[in-house]
Structure 1
Amino acid sequence: MDSLENQFLIAMPSLGNDYFNKTVTYICEHNDEGAMGLIINMPVNITLHDLLKQIEENDNEQASENKATLEPEEKPASVENIGLDHSLEQLVLSGGPISQNRGFVLHRTQSGWNSSLALSDDIMITTSKDILLALGTKKAPEQFVVTLGYAGWGPGQLETELQANSWLTIDADSDILFNTPIEQRWQKATEKLGIDIAHLSSDIGHA
């Protein structure tokens, strides 16, 4: 099977009340060793502003415990001093059931971060903390979504699930990712398939 990297994985009704019910997952990696992706329409009950505030508080506690001091120019900007940039009002997403204490940022292409991978011409994934500290500032990418955790499949597992009609796929759409409200992303993705949601059934076949 061809790699599904940079595609949306759209959950079909056959998944029922499964964890992935009505999810859209951006596939970041897919090869013989398995697949890894981020769910882009499962919000958790926390804003990005609140998440960054928690990170800042944890960092301050750790620094206090270690009695570490930073030079003034090295200190990150306080979330409270940044001001509530509108981008920080967005909800953080649950990217999947694995490593839910780990953050991932999908964003418009922008170089300069410590740990980034280009997924397409206009989408990158960054996992290093430096990008989190830059969100809400002028250094932040133009558009981004933040997830906690990721979804993973072992060798051949995703292929088997596709054959069982659990998923359909389309090319990733940055407009759905960055501009479409979270609660509309599954519907918009299924519309791009050319399928009426009302007529979806669990035994839909592949073209």
Structure 2
Amino acid sequence: MSLQAGRLLLAEPFMSDHHFKRAVILLCDHEREGSVGFVLNKPMGLDIKDLVNDFPDFSAEVHFGGPVQTDSIHYVHTKGELLEGAMKIEEGLYWGGNYEQLKVLIRQGLLEQNDITFFVGYSGWGEGQLQEEIEVQTWILAESDRNYIFQPQNELLWKSVLENLGDRYSVMAQMPIPVWN
């Protein structure tokens, strides 16, 4: 499976970095210069209205996207054809876009909860870094699914995606979280 936008990165079972332990990351951009993605399964227990004062009446849980620029809010959505500046991840899936237009789409009812996911911060890799991490098996590559992105997710997503990969991955999915002395 090739490394490209739209793929999922699953943390290997023994990853100890607290940002990425049992993380499922949607890779949104993968170029020669670097890569960007968002952690799908680390909800912050906050609503977008808790973080943005002038946000329309719209309830959406915010996820921890990653440890880079945690003072920024990002969004992945299905309305790229209606949102100027949205970057296409794959067919029907987009990242970002004009924030003011986003608020208008919400107010007009053209964008619903199952069309968008919000993130604080992002996960990023420099040139060649992600490829190196794949080669040393820090990450497991998987196909994405809209339900992984737009349905409420938690720590069980990692296990679910691994089980869906089958074979040896379904065995990995059963491994308990290691406790280090």
Q: Same fold (TM over 0.5)?
A: yes
Matched residues, number: 172
Whether the 8 Å CA contact 2:80–2:97 is kept in 1: the answer is no
- Equivalence for 1:198: 174
CA distance in 2, matches of 1:93, 1:201: 21
Q: Distance in 2 between matches of 1:157 and 1:187?
A: 25
1:18-42 deviations in Å (ceiling 9; x for gaps)? 4210111111111221211111111
- The residue aligned with 1:8 is 8
Matched, 1:160 2:132: yes
Q: 1:162 to 1:5 in 2, by over 3 A?
A: same
Determine helix, strand or coil for the equivalent of 1:13: coil
Deviations 1:86-138 (A, max 9, x none): xx1x3201111111122211112442223201111121112432255247531
Pairs within 5 Å for 1:1-207: 2-52=2-52, 54=53, 56=54, 79=56, 82=57, 85=58, 88=59, 90-134=60-104, 136-137=106-107, 138-141=109-112, 143-179=115-151, 181-194=153-166, 195-196=169-170, 197-199=173-175
The runs of 5 or more residues in structure 1 that have no matched partner are 57-77, 203-207
For residue 192 of structure 1, give the secondary structure of its aligned residue in structure 2: helix
Q: Which amino acid aligns with 2:84?
A: N
One-letter amino acid matched to 1:198: Q
Structure 2: runs of 5+ lacking an equivalent: none
For 2:130 and 2:80, the matched residues in 1 are separated by 30
Contact 1:177 1:185 in 2 (8 A): no
- Work out which of the two has the higher radius of gyration on C-alpha atoms and give 1 or 2: 1
Moved more, 39-48 or 137-146: 137-146
Counterpart contact for 2:105–2:111, Cα < 8 Å: yes
Identity %: 23
In structure 2, do the counterparts of structure 1 residues 135 and 147 end up closer, same or farther at CA, with 3 Å as the change threshold? farther
Instruction: Return the TM-score normalized by structure 2.
Output: 0.82
Superposed displacement of residue 17, structure 1: 4.1
Structure having the higher helix fraction is 1
Letter in 1 for 2:174: A
Matched to 1:157, the amino acid is Q
Partners of 1:45 and 1:199 in 2: CA distance: 26
Q: Following the alignment from structure 1 to structure 2, what is the Cα–Cα distance between the partners of residues 143 and 182?
A: 18
- In 1, Cα distance between equivalents of 2:70 and 2:143: 26
